Amino acid sequence: MDIRKLQKITVSALEDIKGEDIEVLNTTKLTALFDRIVVVTGTSNRQTRALARNVQDKVKEAGGEVHGVEGEGSGEWVLVDLGDIIVHAMLPAVRSYYNLEELWQAAPKRAAKVGAGWTTDEAAASPKAPAPARPRTTRKTP
């Protein structure tokens, strides 16, 4: 199934069950495992399970395939694997804690060693970001 059609079906299924803060993240340049991540908030465990179930039903009705579902038991975080799209239906506290949007929004920055600590390349190149001072230790000889 075409990724755009699958995404449209997925988002529509989430909207049908009143999913909140639906966010679609394009991950094609970040990983070869899947092309999109869809994150949605449910107001209760029952709603997160209903969101996941509706996505599964609508995708199957359209001829798509559901590869797996995890987390239906607790309902705090239900993951639906559609192959090219991974759907995360989460309670507000769980979504806030794991912050998947920030995790997947950009490629990880390369780290460079500066002084005694590690920092990103941008901070290392910045004249306003001095390197952390190394603690001085004195050794007493007997």
User: How far is CA 34 from each of CA 42, 91, 121, rounded to the nearest angstrom?
Assistant: 23, 23, 28
Q: Taking the complete model, does pTM exceed 0.85, yes or no?
A: no
Q: How confident is the model at residue 101 (pLDDT cuts 50, 70, 90)?
A: confident
User: Given a cut of 80, is residue 15 above it in pLDDT?
Assistant: yes
What are the residue ranges spanned by the domains of the chain? 3-104
Under CATH, which architecture does the 3-104 domain have?
2-Layer Sandwich (3.30)
Q: How confident is the model at residue 105 (pLDDT cuts 50, 70, 90)?
A: confident
Confidence (pLDDT) at 123: 45
User: Given a cut of 80, is residue 141 above it in pLDDT?
Assistant: no
Query: 43: helix, coil or strand?
Result: coil
**For strand 85-90 and strand 36-41, is the pairing parallel, antiparallel, or unpaired?**
parallel
CA 135 centroid distance within chain: 38
Query: 7: helix, coil or strand?
Result: helix
Q: What is the mean pLDDT of the chain?
A: 82
Confidence (pLDDT) at 39: 96
Q: How confident is the model at residue 108 (pLDDT cuts 50, 70, 90)?
A: low
111 or 7: which carries more pLDDT confidence?
Answer: 7
